[in-house]
Amino acid sequence: MSFDIALSGIQSINEQLGSISNNIANAGTFGFKSSRANFAAMYAGDRPTGAHIGSTSQSITQNGGVLTTNRGLDALINGRGFFVAKDLTGQMNYTRVGIFTKAADNYLVDASGRRVQGYAMAPPSTVRGAMADVLVPTGTLPAKPSTKIDFQANMSADWKTPTAPFAALTPGVPADPASYNMSQTSTVYDSLGKQHTITQYFRKVAPAGGPPPVPNNLVDVFIAVDGTASATATTQLDFDATGKLTLPATGAITVGVLPGSATVAKLDINLSYLGTTFQAGNASASINAADGYAPGNYVGVELNDDGGVIAKYSNGQKQQIGVLAIATFPNDEGLTPTDNTSWSESGASGTANYSEPGQGVAGKLTTGSLEQSNVDVTTELVSLMTSQRNYQANSKVISTENAMMQSLMQAL
């Protein structure tokens, strides 16, 4: 009887060694979660019959360390949840390994070549579609015509009126620098993505009347489009005694860039001066930003911390074309481990709940980083030595019983 009990102990320790060796082997595996074999006693009625591995516990809820990679398609989940990937059989796989890439067929795949699941978006709309394979659009991003320029600057109260008069603007002939105090140029785009320049020349208005001359806080703005005086050739900025803009009343004017034709759409720009001041000191522009852009070619894809899949283009633009899906379960430790550092749903885990990162109990993402294995090698080595001692002890029981049986047989 003792022989069978000791043998059951040895068999159980062999199973425990399998868990320990698997943990040690995967100490460097991204997203790996350690497991522990739990011993349980066996009885036949009230008679002990030895031990067996009653269960295996997974440390899925214990996160591993963080490895910074600075790669745009690497991500880790801070907290609960799993990335979702579908294999060729249509089976959903759940993993903590956030290593992604764009495959040759333009689908986003994980490190094992499985298609990553997410919610598609069609820019400029932010409406999410149903969860599906994430397809990265690699075509040309069409041009977006400009509609506005946000311009904010300080017109120096120390300016003196230039001595030279401001001459009419003609193509190819630059304005005389002695005829204005400051100039600023903005770039806008038409419906075909062609660039146009809007240049503003600022000139302090001379004091009125006299003697003595009456000072004012007026600044004339002469506007040129592609080097030629625009239909809105001149406007005037007026500031009150505190240097706050009072004219134009709305804080903005409309600049006609293109009249429109059969080949290109009409282009009018709303030029806003809101926030512009008239104070002593240097004259400078703090904001000179136009919307719109030229067409661009696809150059890459990356992730953001909200789980957004961002397509990048040669014109410097970025568009969010989807959001990664994160799966959570009622009981994470009930998941069934599978190949490629993944898990599959089981009856013990409960049904997967899908959401975006940071929603509900799902953790947020950290991009440019990966989750390391949560294996503590020191702990595993201590467990390994303990298993070795237990194995030797059970072996000693078997050898002792064998010696006793031999003595008994010799005595007969």
Per the structure block, which two tokens stand in for 76?
A: 């880790």
Give the DSSP letter string of 304-358.
-TT-EEEEEETTS-EEEEEEE-EEE-S-GGGSEEETTTEEE--TTT---EEE-TT
The rounded distance, in Å, linking the Cα atoms of 2 and 279 is 98
Is pTM beyond 0.85? Reply is no
Per-residue pLDDT of the chain (412 residues; tens, 9 = 90+): 677 887 887 898 899 999 999 999 999 999 999 999 998 999 988 888 889 998 989 999 999 999 999 999 999 999 999 999 999 999 999 999 999 999 999 999 999 999 999 999 999 899 999 999 999 999 999 999 999 999 999 999 999 999 999 988 877 788 899 999 999 999 999 999 999 999 999 999 999 877 888 999 999 999 999 988 776 668 999 999 999 999 999 999 999 999 989 999 999 999 999 999 999 999 999 999 999 999 999 999 999 999 999 999 999 999 999 999 999 999 999 999 999 999 999 999 999 999 999 999 999 999 999 999 999 999 999 999 998 998 898 888 888 877 887 887 777 6
Q: Is 243 helix (H, G, I), strand (E, B) or coil?
A: coil
Asked: is 148-290 a CATH 2.60.98.20 domain? The reply is yes
Q: Give φ, ψ of 387 to 5 degrees.
A: -65, -40
The rounded distance, in Å, linking the Cα atoms of 103 and 116 is 11
**Residue 412's pLDDT is what?**
65
**Which residues of the chain are in CATH 2.60.98.20 domains?**
148-290
**Residue 305's pLDDT is what?**
93
Distance from the Cα of residue 323 to its chain's centroid: 9
